Structure 1
Amino acid sequence: MTALAAVAGCTLQTSTQAPPPLPSEQPLPQLIIASPKESSAYLRNYYARIQATGLVHDQLRTDGGGPDTPYTEAMLARNFERIAFNGEFSTIEERRVLKEHAIKLTRWVKPVRFRLHFGNDVPEDQREIDRQVFAPYIARLGRLTGHPISAVPERIPLGANFTVYILTEDERRAMGPTLRSTISGISAADMHEIVNMRRDTQCVIFVRNRDDNNHIERAFAIIRAELPDLMRAACLHEELAQGLGLLNDSPLARPSIFNDSDEFGLLTSHDELLLQMLYDKRLQPGMTADEARPIFTKIAAELMGGSA
């Protein structure tokens, strides 16, 4: 039996309060299922303001961590358990809700073949910026995990099992028929979440894995084309890493992109170790946290050089 599940959606925050609305905009209700249709021009302006505010508040760091973000082997093991052995979303009455729940270790066994897919309305200069982020990051993920990871040509999707869609608002809203034809088993709830993506969600990823062995078989991510460059890069970094099996976030993980504080925008030194732990051959898909704890605790100590 296979299951398709939303892993995570990147909801970059600029502070403890939402950014002020544009003059013509009314504040959104706190709980919202579908956002009103908005133009790409409007959204580009909206997200540019969010990024600018985030940078003022020292968010979206790209330095990977430093002396101000120390962590120990115990912290690394704790963060790995929270991020790799818990899911961020649960399904309640056919609705996808943000509710953490325990899961077994889940990762790819077959080779991962990434494909970058741009909507027709995405400008060529923006595509080139994203390609320059995507290609070296795919190579980096392969080096860190030791797993066969590569990219297929954009225009030749044959063999791709992890597709990254970068789409404008109109293109994403119109992609329902494409999803139905290419993603078997996609639910009405997942379709609704994609087509009617909330404005406070910048990107989202879905993975399909077998329930009987916790092997990821397919994944796809959707990133808003209206995001400014750094926010798109942050989405690429987080969603692709989460799609490899780091399925949760933790408020205690630092320095990390797996933390909803959004202090860091790009993969950190801490996150590199999480990926190494996830694909260590001593751990196997299907392990529970209790079964794996003695093993990943030892791996964390090895990676940290036995620090206390």
Structure 2
Amino acid sequence: MIVRLLLLAGSLALASCAPVPRQHVAERGEYIPSRLPPMKTFTRSGAQAPERSNSSIANDFLDLSFQLESGRTLPVFTRFEGPVTVRVTGNAPASLDADLTRLLARLRTEAGIDITRIAPGRPAGINIELVTRTQLQRAVPQAACFVVPRVASWAEFRRNRRGAMTDWTTLRSRERMSVFIPRDVSPQEVRDCLHEEMAQALGPLNDLYHLTDSVFNDDNFHTVLTGFDMLILRATYAPELRSGMTRADVAATLPGVLARLNPKGAQIQERPRGRTSRAWINAIEGALGPQNTMEARQGAAKRAVHIAGDEGWDDNRLAFSLFALGRLSLGADPELALNAFLKASNIYASDPSTVLHEAHIAMQLAAFALSSDQAGTAIAIVDRSLPSVRQAENAALLGSLLLVKSEALDAMGRPDEAARLRRESLGWARYGFGTDAEVRKRAGEIAALNPNSRQDRT
């Protein structure tokens, strides 16, 4: 499932330096126009090839393809055999067509999959149906979107959801899949669901927390298919593989497949990582689970940090544990939150494959800096993060970072620059957050971080 991780810092009472004087600080209403600017969208993908050894990619391929997220094993390898068709049914939002067109083009060119969209009235291999978020979560609580085998519609899924028909472990080849996506969420959430669930309809069904360069990771930092993901899908549809192969069969064949598809990976030395324990996964799931009390979630995040430390991890799993702890401590213990974010940022900064992860931390650190009258520091933090966020096509994070920067510019007495940047940020926020009301809410939350704004209301 997809979990939104972006959390705005809110007003935090921190030690700060003196604010830069300003002659005039306008009311917040002047900064958010009555008519929001047009929604901005991404038009060019910049996925990079994975910088990892083929041996580690092969191990990840096997774990992604022969195990479910629940831990259940899959007896055989499955994929579509032959061309794949896709149709869309339900009341789709206007943004879906362009995002699906871009995704299908990438799957054809980067993953080498013969995949095309067909009319809604024709039978298809992959059926994308738009339903309401309430319907979706009533059927599968806590899921943002999901994919199911052997059914072609929501109604067929509801009739067969508890039987062998929708059991992935009984599958021997893929012929018919359904992807269910909520229609009443932001354009970015719809797109993110398209990427993750379409990828799982075509290939891997598991998520691995140690992956730093993939959507197949429940930390959900990457929300559009990466170069690693496209390589995994290209290998999935390599002519050397076929549905029905066992794990041993695939393991014996993969080295040749990857040598052909990713020759650079043969020259890279493998960096072994310890396997992720079920105890840590349970702790992280407890920290992220909104059904738990805040106290229980904070306790689970602390357990995740301790488990990661006991395991000797110094990678993205420890950093993610700290990130979760920081998010959950913002309201109750800002100092603990800041320390957790700083530690997580240092870990992410040490690995070139986690620059996007570091940018999520940067949002929190920039918010702290802005709230404590350190406008110049906030701007520097934001500017370092913008390239990776644009490349990852995360409009919600991009819009939020630019809103922080616009407030920082405003606090430094540069209102014209702030106004221009605020307009750009609102365009990205419309794609990232959806409704005008939600965009205004997010913009208002970030504006409240500006100490000059708080002074206006006293």
TM-score, normalized by the shorter chain, greater than 0.5:
yes
Question: In the alignment, is residue 301 of structure 1 matched against residue 267 of structure 2?
Answer: no
Contact 1:202 1:227 in 2 (8 A): no
Q: Which amino acid aligns with 1:80?
A: F
Quick check: which one's helix share is greater? 2
Q: 2:67 aligns with which of 79, 86, 90?
A: 86
Partner residue, 2:144:
202
Q: Which amino acid aligns with 1:245?
A: G
1: CA distance between counterparts of 2:81 and 2:63? 22
Q: Which amino acid aligns with 2:215?
A: I
Contact 1:110 1:217 in 2 (8 A): no
Partner residue, 1:165:
129
Question: In the alignment, is residue 136 of structure 1 matched against residue 108 of structure 2?
Answer: no
Q: Give the superposition deviation at 1:75.
A: 2.0
Contact 1:115 1:162 in 2 (8 A): yes
Partner residue, 1:149:
115
Quick check: which one's strand share is greater? 1
Partner residue, 2:84:
112
Cα deviation digits, residues 188-227 of structure 1 (max 9, x gap)? xxxxxx74332x3110110128988821111001111232
Question: In the alignment, is residue 288 of structure 1 matched against residue 253 of structure 2?
Answer: no
Mapping for residues 1-308 of structure 1, pairs under 5 Å: 10-14=1-5, 64=47, 70-88=51-69, 98-119=70-91, 127-154=93-120, 157-169=121-133, 172=135, 195-198=138-141, 200-208=142-150, 214-305=172-263, 306-308=266-268
2: CA distance between counterparts of 1:85 and 1:153? 33
3-state secondary structure, aligned to 1:100: coil
> Residues 142, 218 of structure 1: CA spacing in aligned structure 2 closer, same or farther, 3 A cutoff?
same
1: CA distance between counterparts of 2:84 and 2:251? 26
Q: Which amino acid aligns with 1:163?
A: N
Please, what TM-score do these two structures have when normalized by structure 2? 0.43
Q: Give the superposition deviation at 1:130.
A: 1.0
Partner residue, 1:182:
none
Contact 1:64 1:266 in 2 (8 A): no
> Residues 225, 77 of structure 1: CA spacing in aligned structure 2 closer, same or farther, 3 A cutoff?
same
Q: Give the superposition deviation at 1:118.
A: 2.9
> Residues 144, 214 of structure 1: CA spacing in aligned structure 2 closer, same or farther, 3 A cutoff?
farther
2: CA distance between counterparts of 1:211 and 1:197? 19
Q: Give the superposition deviation at 1:228.
A: 1.6
Q: Give the superposition deviation at 1:19.
A: 9.5
Identity between Structure 1 and Structure 2 (%): 23
Q: Which amino acid aligns with 1:101?
A: T
Contact 2:133 2:144 in 1 (8 A): no
> Residues 164, 212 of structure 1: CA spacing in aligned structure 2 closer, same or farther, 3 A cutoff?
closer
> Residues 240, 213 of structure 1: CA spacing in aligned structure 2 closer, same or farther, 3 A cutoff?
closer
Partner residue, 2:290:
none
| Structure of higher CA gyration radius | 2
- 4+ long deviations beyond 6 Å: 209-213
CA RMSD of aligned residues (A): 2.8
3-state secondary structure, aligned to 2:73: strand
Q: Could you say which structure has the greater relative contact order, defined with CA pairs below 8 angstroms and 6 or more residues apart?
A: 1
Q: Give the superposition deviation at 1:63.
A: 5.6
Q: Give the superposition deviation at 1:293.
A: 0.9
Q: Which amino acid aligns with 2:115?
A: I
> Residues 280, 237 of structure 1: CA spacing in aligned structure 2 closer, same or farther, 3 A cutoff?
same
3-state secondary structure, aligned to 2:233: helix
3-state secondary structure, aligned to 2:258: helix
Work out the number of aligned pairs and report it: 215
Contact 2:111 2:231 in 1 (8 A): no
1: CA distance between counterparts of 2:71 and 2:258? 27
Cα deviation digits, residues 83-109 of structure 1 (max 9, x gap)? 112223xxxxxxxxx333233110011
> Residues 288, 269 of structure 1: CA spacing in aligned structure 2 closer, same or farther, 3 A cutoff?
same
> Residues 252, 137 of structure 1: CA spacing in aligned structure 2 closer, same or farther, 3 A cutoff?
same
2: CA distance between counterparts of 1:79 and 1:275? 12
Contact 2:73 2:169 in 1 (8 A): no
Cα deviation digits, residues 235-284 of structure 1 (max 9, x gap)? 10010011012111111223100111111010000011001100111112
Q: Which ranges of structure 1 fall in alignment gaps of 5 or more residues?
A: 1-9, 21-61, 89-97, 174-193
2: CA distance between counterparts of 1:114 and 1:159? 9
